[in-house]
Structure formats: C-alpha cells, structure tokens
Amino acid sequence: MSVTSRYRNAWESFWNEALADRGAVFWDAEPTLTAGRHLAHFEPHLTDPGLPLIDLGCGNGTQTRYFAERFPHVVGADLAAAALDHARRADPAGQAAYRQLDAADKAEAETLHAELGDANVYVAPAARQPLADALAALLGARGRAFLVEPAQSAGTVLAGLAHRPDGPPAKLAPVLRHGLTPAAVPDEAVPEHLRAAGLTVLASGELPLVTTEYTPDGTRVQLPSTWVVAGRDLQ
C-alpha cells in the first residue's frame, strides 16, 4: 500500500468513526477562535477577496461554513469522502460546495483550477512539497494562501497529553489511534516548500491553535502553531 493510500485510509477511518456532535473532534473548535483569528492576518493580503475560497482539508466543514458567510464562493475540499459526508450533512442549506480532492496531487489541483480559476486557499497542515506544488496550481497568479501548522513545540504538549497516567484525553485518543499525529515536521519546512513551489512568503507569525479538549483542571488545550501567508509576487 502506498503512503498516499495509507494516509487516505487513516483519514477515512477517522471520519467514519467520528461523531457528528459539534466539538466532538479534537481540533474542531469554534470558528471565532480558529479561522476567525486567522482571517485577521489573511484578509489584508488578499489581492481579490472575490476569488473563490478553498478550505483545503475542510474536514466536517465547521470552518468552511464560517467562510461561506464571509466570501461569495467557498469550496470545502478534503481527501476523505467520509469527512465530506459530515460536512454536507452539517450544511443542509448548501452554503458551500464540497469536493473530494487529493491535495498532494498536482494534476487534481490543476483540474480544479481549470474549473474555478485562480483561488484563495486556507489550509492546514501544509508541510509537504507535493502539497505546496498543488497549492501553487490552485492559487494561479492572483490567489493567496493562508497555511497554519502545529509548531514543533506542539509535540511536547501532545506527548504530555498522550502519556497521562489515565491515558490520552477522549478527543485526542482517536487522532493517535489512527496515526494522525501533528507537529512532526520542522518549523522551517513550510516556507521552504512554498518557495520551492514558486511562491513568495508574504507574512508569517505564531498563534495558539485552540482545540476542543480540556485538561483535568478545566484549562482549554492549545497547541503552539505557525502561520504563513503566501502567493505569487505580483510586482
């Protein structure tokens, strides 16, 4: 079985098992605490806010629906059909469109670009060169991307949660069981991959990545994360 097949199967099995309840998934925090914070850093760099917005790796569509209230044409894209089933069921009014897409397949990205034209893209995580190459195809000349990735130091936080005496928290356990461990890449990987794909890093920074899990003392679990805005240099 190829790496891509194992990765796809891991996500399919995760989303088939996931509950549809709001906040049941480890990273499925309220959009005002996640995508909303990110938009404050993303929107100033958009050359054309009217371009389609692709929520790449949309999962169950919580953030996608938030974007659909703010942008005219939003597409939630995900590798896992099971994730898109969740997203469509949670969006009976069809605020957004949904599309199965292997974000590491440049040919699939080029096909979507041929349909939509240049697009703005919101994506997490992004630390792989094939994904950066596909992202460049989706952006075209005018699009901008916002990428967020758990920082390397998030691994320490997750390890502490995973090795608690009573076991990992209930919402983190399925993430670990399916092998979907974040924070496994160096912090500098994303900018390097973007530059290799012909994109320019326009802005970057750090933000806490809010989760839906809490420690035994009631503190919300937050992971250190890095964010990057990228696009083609139009000057």
Is pTM beyond 0.85? Reply is yes
pLDDT reported for residue 126: 62
The CA-based angle 46-55-30, given to 5 degrees, is: 100
pLDDT reported for residue 221: 95
Q: Give the sheet arrangement for strand 220-231, strand by strand.
A: 97-100, 74-78, 53-56, 120-123, 144-150, 220-231, 200-214
108-144 burial, b at 16+ Cβ within 10 Å, e below that, comes to bbeebbeebebbbbbbbbbbeebbbbbbbbbbeebbb
Q: Give Cβ neighbours of residue 97 (< 8 Å, ≥ 6 apart).
A: 73, 74, 75, 76
pLDDT reported for residue 133: 95
Query: By C-alpha distance, which of 33, 39, 130, 31 is closest to 79?
Result: 130
DSSP secondary structure letter of residue 32: G
Query: Over the stretch 128-140, which tens digit does the pLDDT of each residue have?
Result: 899 999 999 999 9
Q: Please, what are the averages of pLDDT over each run of 10 residues along the chain (235 residues)? A: 74 95 94 97 97 97 98 97 98 97 94 98 83 96 95 91 92 93 76 95 96 93 95 82
